[in-house]
Amino acid sequence: MILVTGGCGFIGSAFILDWLAQGGEPVLNLDLLTYAGHLGNLRAVESDPRYRFVHGDIADGTRVAALLGEHRPRAIVHFAAESHVDRSIAGPQAFIHTNVVGTTRLLQAAHEHWSRLPPGEAQAFRFLNVSTDEVFGSLGASEPAFTEAHPYQPNSPYSASKASADHFARAWCHTFGLPVITTNCSNNYGPRQFPEKLIPLTIHNALAGQPLPVYGDGLQVRDWLHVGDHCAALRAVLERGRPGETYNIGGRAERTNLEVVHTICGVIDEARPGRTHAELIRHVGDRRGHDRRYAIDGSKIARELGWQPAVAFEQGIRDTVQWYLANAGWVESVTSGAYRRWVEQQYPALNAAA
């Protein structure tokens, strides 16, 4: 079996659903169910005998050690994190707790588990540390894309906490021999993404006829990857990746934020004719320390593991908008009072104008 951490979040749930749909072995999902974790994301596999959920904190080393001893996973796929940059600016401590302390406790428990395995199992064991391209910092408009050798230059509390986790993961591999692989992926989008991130927030607000907040000039660039492609890349890394290596994962889809928002508006104009949704765009104050551009050089994973993205960005956005249109109940269930309080705090200018 495999242990997945943070499996009730956006990418972790997509990974578990895909894994089980493809006939994968049993999964134990350890998740704290923060504001970003939703049991409903895994409703489709709730009664699958191969799936089991455990409510808990990755930073609880005793608990994690007991789970590893009881279930003896052959791999850990580590998604659990505080993942939203704006929340890391509003309150960095939770990011240090989960992303740094939590990851190191997990590494320590994994190492103790791994050192007790018989040689064959120890050799096959993998700790897959799911990380981000944000650890590399910001690129100028004409600079080449991030390779795996790019220096770490994190700029936000979120990216600093993920960079720290990556350094500890590397150290546990180098010093203690734990077979760790780290992946650094670009911006994901797709079904079940919490509507605090740009794409689901824009879809959610456009469908509700609410303003679409764009930070600063909106010309910041991100590389976008459909979450299903990310899951396929992670499966390839787990199967064929080399311990001690890192792999960049990207979507070959660099877009400015304004291009992304206009693409979504165009799709929603077709689905809900009668208004031009781009009229809802509002430029608001910029994110503090806002990284200008991320871009991924994905040649290593393509060359070594034969993985490349399959979903074209415009088609992926169409499918994602369709998912949100068909799943209004999911959106309703995750946009509780706490979500509304976050939106009020994060977008004061829009609330004042409303």
List the single partner that 190 binds among ligand NAD, ligand DAU, none, CB under 5 to 8 Å by kind: none
Q: Pick from 220, 246, 248, 263: which binds ligand DAU (CB under 6 A)?
A: 220
Q: Which residues ranging from 190 to 219 are in contact with ligand DAU (CB under 6 A)?
A: 197-198, 201, 213-215
The interface mask with ligand DAU, positions 34-73, x = CB under 6 A, is: ----------------------------------------
Q: Which residues pair with 109 in a beta bridge?
A: none
How would DSSP label each residue in 80-101? -S---HHHHHH-THHHIIIIII
Q: Pick from 53, 125, 294, 307: which binds ligand DAU (CB under 6 A)?
A: 294
Q: Which residues ranging from 54 to 83 are in contact with ligand NAD (CB under 6 A)?
A: 57-59, 79-81, 83
Q: Would you say 21 or 349 has its CB closer to ligand DAU?
A: 349
The reply on whether position 32 binds ligand NAD by CB under 6 A is yes
The reply on whether position 16 binds ligand NAD by CB under 6 A is no
Region of 34-42, 147-155, 298-306, 324-332 interacting with ligand NAD (CB under 6 A): 34-42
Q: In terms of C-beta density within 10 A (0-12 exposed, 13-18 middle, 19 or more buried), how is residue 15 classed?
A: buried
Q: How far apart are CA 32 and CA 36, in angstroms?
A: 9
* 327 DSSP 8-state letter: T
User: What's phi and psi for 182, nearest 5 deg?
Assistant: -110, 140
Shortest distance (Å) from residue 215 CB to ligand DAU: 4
Q: How far apart are CA 19 and CA 3, in angstroms?
A: 12
**Could you tell me if 130 and 87 are in contact, meaning their C-beta atoms sit under 8 angstroms apart?**
no
Q: How far apart are CA 5 and CA 12, in angstroms?
A: 7
Using DSSP's 3-state secondary structure scheme, residue 24 falls into: coil
- Which of 158, 294, 324, 347 is catalytic? The answer is 158
254 is catalytic: no
Shortest distance (Å) from residue 155 CB to ligand NAD: 15
Residue nearest ligand DAU by beta-carbon distance: 132
Q: Would you say 55 or 240 has its CB closer to ligand NAD?
A: 55
The reply on whether position 187 binds ligand DAU by CB under 6 A is yes
Residue 248's closest CA among 294, 291, 297? Answer: 297
Region of 82-90, 166-174, 227-235, 310-318 interacting with ligand DAU (CB under 6 A): 82-90
**Could you tell me if 144 and 99 are in contact, meaning their C-beta atoms sit under 8 angstroms apart?**
no
Q: How far apart are CA 5 and CA 56, in angstroms?
A: 10
The reply on whether position 145 binds ligand NAD by CB under 6 A is no
How many residues bind to ligand NAD according to rule CB under 6 A? Answer: 30
Q: Which residues ranging from 114 to 143 are in contact with ligand DAU (CB under 6 A)?
A: 132-134
List the single partner that 257 binds among ligand NAD, ligand DAU, none, CB under 5 to 8 Å by kind: ligand DAU
End-to-end CA distance of the chain, in Å? 51
- Which of 134, 223, 254, 291 is catalytic? The answer is 134
How many residues bind to ligand DAU according to rule CB under 6 A? Answer: 19
**Which run of H or of E encompasses 129?**
strand 126-132
The reply on whether position 85 binds ligand DAU by CB under 6 A is yes
Q: Is the dihedral of CA 338, 155, 252, 23 positive or negative?
A: negative
The reply on whether position 247 binds ligand NAD by CB under 6 A is no
Q: Pick from 99, 183, 257, 263: which binds ligand DAU (CB under 6 A)?
A: 257
158 is catalytic: yes
Q: What region, left, alpha or beta, does residue 215 occupy, with left being phi > 0 and alpha being psi -120 to 50 degrees?
A: beta
Q: Which residues pair with 284 in a beta bridge?
A: 215
